[in-house]
């Protein structure tokens, strides 16, 4: 990967991005002049101590928070001061994986995955079930498709979450500490699964993680400290 790549391959383009929390005297700057570009098909690990602004950066890129100042383009769309509608539209092209899997307890594994597909009206209703089952099979849960989350192990739940994030072929996956709640072996498996599936689909993956055991899966490691990027190295 290098900076000469054409803008067509740019999935996220951030320039001079700053972000503040609070108002008036309590106003506190969280991010300082961030410059970061994510390219298509990359796996990036975003590291940094607690409070360094990793999660804020993630939510801004994911359209979960309104960006305030600077330049933030996701899939070529400018998200600074974007309307709520535009943010929601952007989110539909992003797969999210959370630390605490966040599956819907009242839905089976298959239904959880389907919720992601049902957002896309271009996917035929008759294909939805098949696609959900196919992806659950590819994460190794072919015989657990009708299980409720409460009956799955932590690793299995996280696999369902990965299937949910990837089933609609997003252009980008944002994962926040996906291995934090897992033992080292399951954590490793999960990250490798994410890497493998995203390679197949050609989507960009940004993983926020403290976990040093998984750093080797990344194409690039970005480190954030006190709201500034301190490291941006290709491996």
| Alpha helices for 31-74 (secondary structure H) | 54-61
**CB of 104 or CB of 231, closer to other proteins:** 104
What does the binding site for other proteins look like in residue numbers (CB under 8 A)? 55, 58-59, 62, 64-65, 88-89, 91-92, 94, 96, 98-99, 102, 104-107, 111, 114-116, 118-119, 125, 164, 176, 208
| Token output for 100 | 């605490």
**Cβ at position 209, least distance to other proteins in Å:** 13
Round to whole Å and give the CA distance between 53 and 25.
20
**CB of 49 or CB of 216, closer to other proteins:** 49
**Cβ at position 21, least distance to other proteins in Å:** 11
**CB of 100 or CB of 185, closer to other proteins:** 100
Whether the Cβ atoms of residue 12 and residue 61 lie closer than 8 Å to each other: yes
**Cβ at position 4, least distance to other proteins in Å:** 33
**CB of 26 or CB of 125, closer to other proteins:** 125
| Token output for 57 | 């950066």
**Cβ at position 164, least distance to other proteins in Å:** 8
What are the backbone angles phi and psi of residue 198, rounded to the nearest 5°?
-75, -30
Round to whole Å and give the CA distance between 59 and 67.
9
What are the backbone angles phi and psi of residue 69, rounded to the nearest 5°?
-140, 155
């Amino acid at each position: 990967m290098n900076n000469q790549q054409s803008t067509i391959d740019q999935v996220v383009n951030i320039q001079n991005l700053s972000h503040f929390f609070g108002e008036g005297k309590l106003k506190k700057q969280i991010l300082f002049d961030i410059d970061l570009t994510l390219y298509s098909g990359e796996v990036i690990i975003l590291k940094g101590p607690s409070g360094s602004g990793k999660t804020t950066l993630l939510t801004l890129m994911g359209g979960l928070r309104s960006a305030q100042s600077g330049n933030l383009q996701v899939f070529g769309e400018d998200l600074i001061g974007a309307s709520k509608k535009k943010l929601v539209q952007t989110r539909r092209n992003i797969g999210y994986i959370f630390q605490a899997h966040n599956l819907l307890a009242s839905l089976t594994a298959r239904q959880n995955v389907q919720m992601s597909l049902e957002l896309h009206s271009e996917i035929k209703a008759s294909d939805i079930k098949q696609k959900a089952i196919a992806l659950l099979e590819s994460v190794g849960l072919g015989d657990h498709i009708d299980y409720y989350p409460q009956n799955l192990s932590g690793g299995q739940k996280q696999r369902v979450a990965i299937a949910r994030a990837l089933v609609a072929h997003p252009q980008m996956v944002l994962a926040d500490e996906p291995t934090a709640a897992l033992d080292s072996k399951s954590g490793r498996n999960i990250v490798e699964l994410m890497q493998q599936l995203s390679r197949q689909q050609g989507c960009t993956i940004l993983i926020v993680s403290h976990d040093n055991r998984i750093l080797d899966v990344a194409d690039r490691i970005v480190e954030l400290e006190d709201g500034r990027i301190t490291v941006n190295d290709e491996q």
